[in-house]
Amino acid sequence: MSILEVQNLSKKFGGLTANQDVSMTVEKNSITAVIGPNGAGKTTFFNMITGVYQPTSGIILLENEKLNGLKPHVVCQRGISRTFQNIRLFNEMTVLENVMVGMHTHLKAGLFGILFNLPTTRKEELATEIKAYQLLEYVGLDSFLNEKACNLSYGAQRRLEIARAIAASPKILLLDEPAAGMNPKETKELTQLIKKMRDEFNLTVLLIEHDMKLVMEISEQIFVLDHGEKIAEGKPEDIRNNPKVIEAYLGSGAVHAG
Ligand SMILES: Nc1ncnc2c1ncn2[C@@H]1O[C@H](COP(=O)(O)OP(=O)(O)OP(=O)(O)O)[C@@H](O)[C@H]1O
Ligand SMILES: [Mg+2]
């Protein structure tokens, strides 16, 4: 069963076509990858799904409901959370606070409750804090709760972004290069974490990644973009041997396949 359906999505920035008629069906509960050389249009594709950019044309459907035209926070409420290629954390806030911010969209207490410190608000805040703590434990950051986010290592910051994204209880988690800047050990742990989250949170994971070992190991379905167009889709074994894909990567001067 599909959860996300993208039909003929295009995005133009002036004269530059970043995405051209990209169509994809993402299966519910799958781990699906979007790969392609630098500048292929992968992040632009995520930005359209999450409402950061409006598509020039095309349709985005989450569980058969149109997402076009919705603002990013509304897309998040509908059930799509993401991490960013360039990490976006609140650097001066603590690790715990960063995750609590991720839960904000689901909190019932309004400003009134917070200002007047109503018992229901306190209760909700406590519940938020407990959940945030549990998520940090889950991603292995529970010993850094009160540390400022900017003091974490690069790999830890990426895991904090994941914890924050998960805090919104999404149906779909979009990860934009989650392994970038990680060492092999961290990448291996991340691979396990992604699988575990998919299974335990009943998630669908859509990820952009240049680390082909990670992609080939965890993806059930792979979509390949090149110069804004989808040039291939299939299972890892099909993609690995697809001449068009090999050509795209060779042409880009960077050989990642293998
Ligand atoms: N806001 C923007 N304004 C103008 N051009 C943009 C904008 N965002 C992206 N582009 C262009 O669109 C193209 C696709 O960029 P995008 O960031 O989507 O590629 P990518 O596949 O994510 O690349 P990478 O692997 O390097 O992250 C590039 O040529 C880029 O310069
Ligand atoms: Mg990108």
65 and 95 co-located in one domain: no
Instruction: Name the residue among 98, 249, 116 with its Cα closest to residue 159.
Output: 98
Question: Which residue has the least CA distance to atom 10 on ligand 1?
Answer: 18
The per-residue pLDDT for range 43-83, each reduced to its tens digit, is 999 999 999 999 999 999 999 999 999 999 999 999 999 99
152 and 192 co-located in one domain: no
71-88 burial, b if ≥16 CB within 10 A, otherwise e? eeeebbebbbbbbbeebe
72 and 200 co-located in one domain: yes
> Percent of the chain scored above 90 by pLDDT?
83
Per the CB < 8 A criterion, the answer to whether 26 and 32 are in contact is yes
Specify if 210 maps to a domain: yes
The Cα 57–Cα 102 span in angstroms is 30
* pLDDT in 10s for each residue of the chain, 258 residues: 999 999 999 999 999 999 999 999 999 999 999 999 999 999 999 999 999 999 999 999 999 999 999 999 999 999 999 999 999 999 999 999 999 987 875 555 555 555 666 677 777 778 888 899 999 999 999 999 999 999 999 999 999 999 999 999 999 999 999 999 899 999 999 999 999 999 999 999 999 999 999 999 999 999 999 999 999 999 999 999 999 999 998 776 554 444
Residues β-bridged to residue 233: 223
40 and 159 co-located in one domain: no
In the reported structure, the alpha carbon of residue 146 is separated from the centroid of ligand 2 by a whole-number distance in angstroms of 31
Owning domain of residue 135 = 90-167
Q: Which of 167, 194, 220 is a domain's end point?
A: 167
What does the pLDDT read at residue 110?
Answer: 57
Specify if 84 maps to a domain: no
What does the pLDDT read at residue 128?
Answer: 85
189 and 137 co-located in one domain: no
With the most atoms of ligand 1 within 8 angstroms of its CB, the residue from 42, 54, 83, 215 to mutate is: 42
Specify if 85 maps to a domain: no
43 and 108 co-located in one domain: no
In the reported structure, the alpha carbon of residue 85 is separated from the centroid of ligand 2 by a whole-number distance in angstroms of 6
Specify if 222 maps to a domain: yes
128 and 25 co-located in one domain: no
Ligand 1 closest atom vs CA 36: 21
The strands making up 204-208's β-sheet, listed across from edge to edge, are 80-82, 172-176, 204-208, 31-35, 221-226, 229-234
When divided into structural domains, the chain yields a total of 2
Question: Which residue has the least CA distance to atom 5 on ligand 1?
Answer: 13
258 and 186 co-located in one domain: yes
| H or E element in which residue 20 lies | strand 16-27
Q: Residue 247 belongs to a domain with what CATH number?
A: 3.40.50.300
The DSSP secondary-structure symbol of 211 reads -
The per-residue pLDDT for range 224-243, each reduced to its tens digit, is 999 999 999 999 999 999 99
The Cα 7–Cα 5 span in angstroms is 7
Instruction: Name the residue among 22, 12, 60, 5 with its Cα closest to residue 231.
Output: 22
Neighbours of 96 (CB within 10 A): 23
Specify if 195 maps to a domain: yes
